Amino acid sequence: MRLSDAEVNILFVTEGQNVLYTADTIKFDGRIVKIIYTGQSSYSEVSVFVGFDESESFTLFTMRTGFDMRLNYVDQAVYQYLGRMSPSVLSPAEGYNTQYEYTYSIFTDNDGYIMENSSGTKTYRININQNRIVTIN
């Protein structure tokens, strides 16, 4: 799902270990940021893996030009998208804390996809057939 205004791609939406949304086609050469929304009272966690184009990734994540402002803008666009999902993934009555994990690269796997952070300390495996996500490290 391309969020045109924010110029990013939503690749996956997860809740716990369940994959709620997977983009139709994932041919991606940029970097991925995981945005985590945690309910302030329920502590439920929804994660969105957002893809930034390669042309922007260097400027944003290496040079950190406009970093905070850009992530905040993307966060708001993603939050609005989640509110429009049917059924809505986020409760309108709940407040959410937001965290970011960055940056990840994505690779194809026999059963889906593997995303690994740039330092190699955290890896996620998405199994498309089972609609599951697991943390490897």
Q: What is the mean pLDDT of residues 71-98?
A: 91
pLDDT value at residue 16: 93
Q: Is the pLDDT of residue 47 over 90?
A: yes
For the chain, the average pLDDT equals: 92
What is the pTM assigned to this prediction?
Answer: 0.92
42, two tokens: 């329920």
Q: How far apart are the first and last CA of the chain?
A: 28
Contact 36, 73 (CB under 8 A): no
pLDDT of 88:
84
> Which pLDDT score is estimated for 33?
96
Residue 81 pLDDT: 92
Contact 79, 92 (CB under 8 A): no
Residue 62: band (very low, low, confident or very high) from pLDDT cuts 50, 70, 90: confident
